[in-house]
Amino acid sequence: MSRQLLPVLLLLLLRASCPWGQEQGARSPSEEPPEEEIPKEDGILVLSRHTLGLALREHPALLVEFYAPWCGHCQALAPEYSKAAAVLAAESMVVTLAKVDGPAQRELAEEFGVTEYPTLKFFRNGNRTHPEEYTGPRDAEGIAEWLRRRVGPSAMRLEDEAAAQALIGGRDLVVIGFFQDLQDEDVATFLALAQDALDMTFGLTDRPRLFQQFGLTKDTVVLFKKVLFVVVDVAADNEHVLQYFGLKAEAAPTLRLVNLETTKKYAPVDGGPVTAASITAFCHAVLNGQVKPYLLSQEIPPDWDQRPVKTLVGKNFEQVAFDETKNVFVKFYAPWCTHCKEMAPAWEALAEKYQDHEDIIIAELDATANELDAFAVHGFPTLKYFPAGPGRKVIEYKSTRDLETFSKFLDNGGVLPTEEPPEEPAAPFPEPPANSTMGSKEEL
């Protein structure tokens, strides 16, 4: 080897092997810059346009709230949102809650079409382009349940009778889908419905034994409503309870069922003994629509139409109120109601004033002792006008309770006349002073 080439070769070897020969801090072209850490507030991820992508990659189920610091609804939601995050974390649910300051992160707000606050969107499996709009409640448990039904099953799989009875007995409203094939498209529809019907608990099964247990032979969806059982001691001071059901103490033992939502009451069709079997059969009959509700009614007084104010009860209400030849004005009252007692003189005076009008009837009905199929009465006094003619029309009176206003209402056919305010005399236009600049306007 030539002696002149040796120093050059050594120099090249030294440059290739010395670590300080490399540029300090240089990164490989394939090496990505370090990603920003996502901050948290009260268990909620605080996102920006720089960190949303990272959050979507790290969290397969991500609920994001777009909020504005000045928004009152956002401020009310904040503690519930944090509570929901804590509840789900305690349950080890694979779901994360986050938030974005919309006004400060305009690019994100525009990207996701946010036009009002708060707006919540649910991202699955890192899908940035098609988030689901949050449509659930704004309380902690409601938020948590909405997410549970998306991250986990929306309906519980029932394998045996014990599981079905535990589900039915533990909730007020339970819906169970009985499907012979759980791959059927109807099952997908059922599960999608279960995701959003948060006021009900859902279960499903394909077990033949459960079909047999509930007397089913084909695919069916069944609603189970919880029945609360109450025992009333008629020997104690419970007269008000007996009155509510239209019962006498000597009728005991007996059964009554009341739907607390509609206030409709039901009685057994037969008067047999009260046993576990008869109670079960009665409840099933009511829930299956096989028993008609009953309505309370006093007996029709012999002199019901002898006074200026006619007395109506449940048994004669329909016949009188919906008489197509009469205009009937009815007061629905409670005997203990102070307001009813205060307006009684005006009602009596009204009846006396119109007692010679053959087409007008002024009447009253004790709504605590008589129930109507046409409508329910919830407040006292309630005043309703039933005009003559077909169609069973009903007009509720909501104006002043005095003789003068009642009379105007009746004389005008069930409508209070519109009273025009008295015209005030126009004030004379003041003469402008001699040196005033008032006059025709000059064009500029």
According to the 3-state scheme, what is the secondary structure of 387-404? CCCCCCCCEEECCCCCHH
User: Interior CA angle at 29 toward 23 and 30, to 5°?
Assistant: 135
Q: Helix axis angle, 140-151 relative to 185-196, nearest 10°? A: 160
Q: Please give the Cα distance from 197 to 295 (Å, whole number).
A: 33
**Residues designated catalytic:** 71, 74, 337, 340
Contact 67, 120 (CB under 8 A): no
* DSSP notation for 298-366: PPPPTTTTTSSSEEE-HHHHHHHHT-TT-EEEEEEE-TT-HHHHHHHHHHHHHHHHTTT-TTEEEEEEE
Amino acid at 163: A
The 8 Å CB, 24+ separation contacts for 400-404 are 401/343, 401/346, 402/346, 403/346, 403/349, 403/350, 403/353
Tokens of 143: 């938020």
- The three-state secondary structure class of 34 is coil
Contact 255, 267 (CB under 8 A): yes
- The three-state secondary structure class of 168 is helix
Q: Helix axis angle, 403-411 relative to 338-353, nearest 10°? A: 50
